[in-house]
Amino acid sequence: MNKISVSLWGMLSIIFAISATLAVAGTLPLPEYPRPEMVRSEWLCLNGQWDFAFDFSNSGEEKGMPQGKGFDKKIIVPFAPESPLSGIGFLDFMNSVWYKREIRIPQNWQGKRILLHFEASDYKTTAWVNGKKVGEHEGGYTPFSFDITDYLKPTENLLVVKVFDEPRSGLQPSGKQSPRLESYSCLYRRTTGIWQTLWMEPVEDVHIQSYRVIPDADNGEANVLVYLNRAPEDGELNLQVTFGGEKKFNASKKAEKINYFQVKIKDPELWGIRQPHLYEMEIIYAKDKQIADKVSGYFGLRKIEIIGNKIFLNNRPLFMRLVLDQGFYPDGIYTAPSDEALKRDIEISLGLGFDGARLHQRIFERRFLYWADKLGYIVWGEFADWGLDLSRPESFLVFAKEWTEAMERDRSHASLIGWCPLNEKWGNIFTGVVESIFRLTKLLDPTRPAIDASGGYHFISPDIYDSHNYEQDAEKFRQAFNGLLQSPAKVYIGGGEEKNVPYQGQPYFVSEYGGIWWNPGQKDEKAWGYGARPRTTEEFIQRYKELTEALLSNPQVAGFCYTQLYDIEQEVNGLYTFGRKPKFDPGIFRRINQQKAAIEK
């Protein structure tokens, strides 16, 4: 077992009994609607207690498991079997895992198409309904759906799910999941199987599949694309937009597979940091003057732009005050124990004086981005690329599929201001893979800046040039970036300068720094952070202040990202503990972080 601490695991063992009791009592874990950017009124949450089984030999299909045979355990979905909240808590590798439960389709759903939705399941997921295979999906971080209508019976139905996971294969993006038995360094407990909400909803044969919003803040417009699942023979599509209960836009048109609305808004309120002005909208597809489908959503009007070496948000210079958030929890690992916990992490960050986060080495839940939109919190969208062997040419195909799904899911969020598909890439990479990933990113979303690979080498000129620097001596740290003040500018890269594309005067972002080790009283020999541990609270705060002010005071630096928001297992360099308790007075960091940056003046 990972030696995080005996006391921690002792405490978490209690949660096994609690979670099982809640499931039996009928309390639904994570009952919130999982797709808040596109809401339908009718849906059914499938979270809760399921039958469960390990399949270490990956022979479950031969043993009749798709037909419901061989299940000997219980699990609380959507918590991964490694987590205490699942009721399993198994920390070794699991080649395959199986889930089973009975599902009943509500009577008023009869005659409609029934969609089975997985918000995320790691890694290759296959589903059977009543013993018949309904579909499969590869990828551990993005949502997917199966139309199960033709496999259903009128009353009870058997739903079986298999998830295959091999994070050591080199062909699975696995982020910070440890490739060893135990956690070590900055790699942590794994997440296998279903780890986000599983749910169903009824739709008509022709229905609204998705939408995309491209804001034009300067002109007070939102360009809205609404996609139906297929081209309708007839019908009408209506879009209504309101703000604060007041109608701002209403238009209808003949329904097509792809529908475009130019939403003009008089006296627009722009979305900004800590100013989360959001417009609500309702999309209705009607056929024969009867509503066939209706969804509600929202969007924010805001502008992100690069001019020279500056980033502008809503035409004002932006210094990015960010923190590294890796999305781990003591009891749920990848899965937050509650929706409130997702919101609370953002509130903690804002309270520390950060304006946003790098959502690091994983795709966060849709509801996290919803809260970022609602609270006025900027984020960078990243991917869990660690674990994927980029020296193999086929890695691009693996990466491109899931990265495309992630970008298409998230690109309408006002809070999301940039994309960074890769992290710390050096050395043995197949020629052209990084460049192709960057070009794909810009093709899918030309409206936001992108970084090819954060830290490590830059293989192609990014929109924002960045580096990682964990130097703990404040004066050496400051000197590392003084080259930006020279003409021509000399940038800190952190090694391998000859392998990087040259700096071309774009915004410069110190996207990882700090990581100051602070865990007084902890005896775990595996605990670590960056550099020598400060001896006192005062020394820690002074070091933080000097490192951060070195970046705020440099007129050529466009942002920072401090490592990190909270401890994770053995990595104890957070400003909060893993259990989300403050190590210091948050107001101290808020006052330091919120100082005006030189580049903003």
- Could you write out the three-class secondary structure of 178-200? CCCCCCECCEECCCCEECCCEEE
Q: How far apart are CA 83 and CA 234, in angstroms?
A: 49
Flag whether pLDDT at 1 surpasses 50. Answer: no
- The runs of H, that is alpha helices, within 186-241 are none
Position 4 scores a pLDDT of 36
Within 8 A by CB and 6+ apart from 212, the residues are 224, 225, 227, 411, 412
- Tell me the average pLDDT across 325-333: 97
- Tell me the average pLDDT across 334-349: 98
- Tell me the average pLDDT across 291-302: 97
Number of Cβ within 10 Å of residue 532's Cβ equals 11
Position 11 scores a pLDDT of 38
Partners of residue 128 on adjacent β-strands = 133, 160
Q: How far apart are CA 595 and CA 591, in angstroms?
A: 7
Contact 40/157 with Cβ under 8 angstroms? no
Q: Residue 88 — very low, low, confident or very high, per pLDDT cuts 50/70/90?
A: very high
- How is residue 300 annotated by DSSP? -
Flag whether pLDDT at 7 surpasses 50. Answer: no
Position 25 scores a pLDDT of 39
The chain-wide mean pLDDT, for the chain, equals 93
Q: Residue 301 — very low, low, confident or very high, per pLDDT cuts 50/70/90?
A: very high
CA distances from residue 501 to 453, 464, 511 in whole angstroms, order as listed: 12, 12, 18
Is the pTM above the cut of 0.85? Answer: yes
Flag whether pLDDT at 434 surpasses 50. Answer: yes
Contact 195/79 with Cβ under 8 angstroms? yes
Q: How far apart are CA 285 and CA 374, in angstroms?
A: 27
Position 422 scores a pLDDT of 97
Per-residue pLDDT tens over the stretch 211-240: 999 999 999 999 999 999 999 999 999 999
Q: How far apart are CA 298 and CA 296, in angstroms?
A: 7
The first and second tokens of residue 7, run together, are 């006391």
DSSP string over 127-143: EEETTEEEEEEE-SSS-
Look at residues 258, 198, 191, 257 and name the one whose alpha carbon lies nearest to residue 230.
257
Contact 15/86 with Cβ under 8 angstroms? no
586-593 helix and 537-552 helix, angle to the nearest 10 degrees? 20
Contacts by 336-340, CB closer than 8 A, 24 or more apart: 336/30, 336/365, 336/368, 337/85, 338/30, 339/30, 339/32, 339/367
Look at residues 533, 537, 598, 601 and name the one whose alpha carbon lies nearest to residue 572.
533
- How is residue 354 annotated by DSSP? -
Position 6 scores a pLDDT of 32
Flag whether pLDDT at 474 surpasses 90. Answer: yes
For 36-85, what is the HEC assignment? CCCECCCCEECCEEEEEEECCCCCCCCCCHHHCCCCCEEEEECCCCCCHH
Q: How far apart are CA 53 and CA 42, in angstroms?
A: 31
Flag whether pLDDT at 14 surpasses 70. Answer: no
Q: How far apart are CA 354 and CA 277, in angstroms?
A: 19
Position 10 scores a pLDDT of 37
Per-residue pLDDT tens over the stretch 482-532: 999 999 999 998 777 778 899 999 999 999 999 999 988 777 677 888 888
State which H helix or E strand residue 588 sits in.
helix 586-593
Q: Residue 26 — very low, low, confident or very high, per pLDDT cuts 50/70/90?
A: low
Question: What are the phi and psi torsion angles at 196 (to 5°)?
Answer: -135, 170
Contact 527/538 with Cβ under 8 angstroms? no
What is the sign, positive or negative, of the torsion defined by CA atoms of 351, 354, 359, 364? positive
How many residues belong to the chain? 601
Contact 440/400 with Cβ under 8 angstroms? yes
Position 27 scores a pLDDT of 82
